[in-house]
Amino acid sequence: MADLEVDLDDEFHGADFFDEEDTQSSEDGDFDSWDDTDEADDQEDSAEEDYEEEYPEEEEYDSEYSDEFEEESEADDDEEESEEFDEEDDSYDDESDVPQERELQVEEFSTRSGRKRSRREKKESTQKQSARPASRSARPTKIAYVPISEEELDEKIVPIQKKKHKGLKVTGIIAAILAVTAGCAYGAVTYYYADRFFEGTYINGIDCSNKTAYEVEQAIASTVEAYSIEVTSRNQDPQTISGSQIGYQYMSDGEVLNLLKQQKPYEWVRGFMETRSYNTQENVTFDKTLLQNEVKALNCAQPENQVEPENAYVAMNGDEFTIVPETEGSKLKVKEAYKALDAAISGSQTSIDLGSTPDVYAVAAVTSEDSTLQATRDAYNNYTKASITYTFGDQTVTLDGSTLKNWLQFDEKGQLVQDDASFTQHVKDFVAQLASEHNTVGTTRSFNTTSGRTVSVYGSAYGWKIDQDAEAAQLTEEIRTGTQTTREPVYSMRANAYGYNDIGSTYIEVDLSSQHMYYYQGGSIIFDSDIVSGDIRYDDRATPPGIFTLYYKKSPDVLRGAKKPDGTYEYETSVTYWMPFNGGIGFHDATWQAYFGGDRYTYAGSHGCINMPLDAAATLYSIIDTNVPIVCFY
């Protein structure tokens, strides 16, 4: 605009804006019609003078830059003549706007030119008045406007570029209005959700969208009013306990309100995009005394419906022992049932299965998982596996599961009755039976003598004798471990041969009637000798008949009789070879005997020993063995 003002100023600088006739008439004519405006003019002149006093260089500025601008204007005229304005020119968006724009420029130009001339006229008038006499008026003369052609306007007016973003401003205003409107709407909805749950909110399965905390709690309370719980029990039809039967009612604890407080109202949009689900503890109350009465009234709590549980047990199944599982029974523990229902109702459960609730029913004391029961099963299965075969020479006796099963006891339902004492007694009886059939100690045998006689000989110190206690213990252990074996019984005494005549073919024969002895080995005599046996005149000195074995042998030794009260012995006799076999009776040398054999034992016999010549005693001493039977007979 500064350029425009300078341009216009330069264009009309020095022009004759005053008509001479008008000037004359103004100077000489009547100014009465201007009287009314004198005061306003004086104020305007005063303002003009003040302006010139404040800005004295303005005129100089105008003069200084007028010539310079004129030169620039001429250069611009040449440039504008060669410049074409088309649809692509950045100065105009649309050719249809040029006339209107130019019209505005002309109007603005005219207005500015008028103001400029007015100021110049006032200045010149002031200068003239100052040269005139004081009686002349200082009012301005009429202004004559000089018309200007359209071509001149094109040369002088600098085109004003159209504002390109006028449409954007309108759009921005509309957008701002919409934003404010949307903001207000958003704020209104935010305010709405300050005390309400968002859309898509569920609490305990209840749709709480757009509801206040109070409305939600009322909805929860309405569901509580219709509360009931179904009770399922063993061997009984389900029964229902209603809330009204136990005084069931809802009590607010503020948890719903706390959920609402945790909600941020300005996030209400999220409610339309997602679902939020909460579970709260429904704070309810009910009459526990009424609940106790309802539990006692349940069918499963009635005495006629109580069945005791049964323990698991071991039973025989075919050829092996198995565990029969325990039975649950239906014996209800009413106190525990009440506790379970109390907890279920407090948690707002709508059903409960007492049959699967721990500790509500009595349970079996012994279950199939019991380690002791499993050990018993395994032990008795070993019984069926055990097989012990006893040998008695050519004879055998076998004990196996088929016999052992008969030693066990079972009740009417097949349950194994553990009775260790009874089983132990069966074992002892079995061993005793073996002893009675195969022991030979203490029995009388028929013996064929060298002289051809057959005598009966009683053997109390020789033969087969089973150690029953030791054998029973070993047999019990083998049964329990399922041992399969073939063996002899445990003996306390052994004979040379099995069978009725257990003497065998190696033995010493002492014929007390003929006073002679023989040593048989493998059925052949390897040694014999005359002897002197006990003096038959004395009962306590006669050599007793029977079957014996050698205890030991010793050389030399001293033989002593019974000890007397004074500490001395009835006799003390030194011998070179001593071989005892029946208490204090044995073989030894007797150098004091005059002879051996015959009838010497009838009047000069020994105290019961078998006297032998020294050399015979030495020979026997060298060949006798401890396990060789010694058969004495008359």
Q: Are 516 and 633 in contact (CB under 8 A)?
A: no
**DSSP assigned state of 325:** P
β-bridge partners, 232 = 353
Cis peptide before 140 (omega within 30 of 0): no
Specify whether the CB–CB gap between 298 and 233 falls below 8 A.
yes
| Both tokens assigned to 607 | 């105290």
Query: Residue 173 is encoded by which pair of tokens?
Result: 């205003």
Contact 528, 546 (CB under 8 A): no
Provide φ and ψ at 184, rounded to 5°.
-65, -40
Which residue(s) pair with 629 in the sheet? 549
Decide: helix, strand or coil at residue 529: strand
**Beta-sheet strands, E only, within 460-606:** 465-466, 484-487, 491-493, 507-511, 516-521, 524-530, 546-549, 557-560, 572-575, 578-582, 585-589
The CA R_g of the chain, rounded to the nearest whole Å, is 74
Strand-strand pairing, 578-582 and 629-633: unpaired
**514 class by beta-carbon count within 10 Å (0-12 exposed, 13-18 middle, 19+ buried):** middle
Residue 123's nearest CA partner among 44, 34, 33, 11 is 44
Q: Using CA atoms, how far apart are residues 551 and 582, in angstroms rounded to an integer?
A: 8
Between the CA of residue 100 and those of 77, 91, 149, 493, what are the distances in Å?
A: 22, 14, 17, 153
Sign of CA dihedral 46, 51, 57, 61: negative
Closest C-alpha to 405, from 314, 313, 312, 319: 319
| Structural contact between residues 461 and 550, judged by C-beta atoms closer than 8 angstroms | no
**437 burial type by CB count under 10 A (0-12 exposed, 13-18 middle, 19+ buried):** exposed
Residue 158 Cα to chain centre, angstroms = 89
Report how far residue 450's alpha carbon sits from residue 165's, in angstroms, rounded to the nearest whole number: 159
Query: C-alpha angle with apex 506: 502 to 510, nearest 5 degrees?
Result: 90
The pairing of beta strand 491-493 with beta strand 465-466: antiparallel
Neighbour count for residue 78 (Cβ, 10 Å):
9
* Catalytic residue list: 588, 609
Two structure tokens written together for 357: 């609730």
CB proximity list for 331: less than 8 A, separation 6 or greater: 306, 307, 308, 309, 361, 362
Host H or E run for residue 413: none
With beta carbons less than 8 A apart as the criterion, state whether 284 and 248 touch: yes
Q: Look at residues 166, 157, 152 and name the one whose alpha carbon lies nearest to residue 93.
A: 166
Judged by DSSP in three states, 167 sits in helix
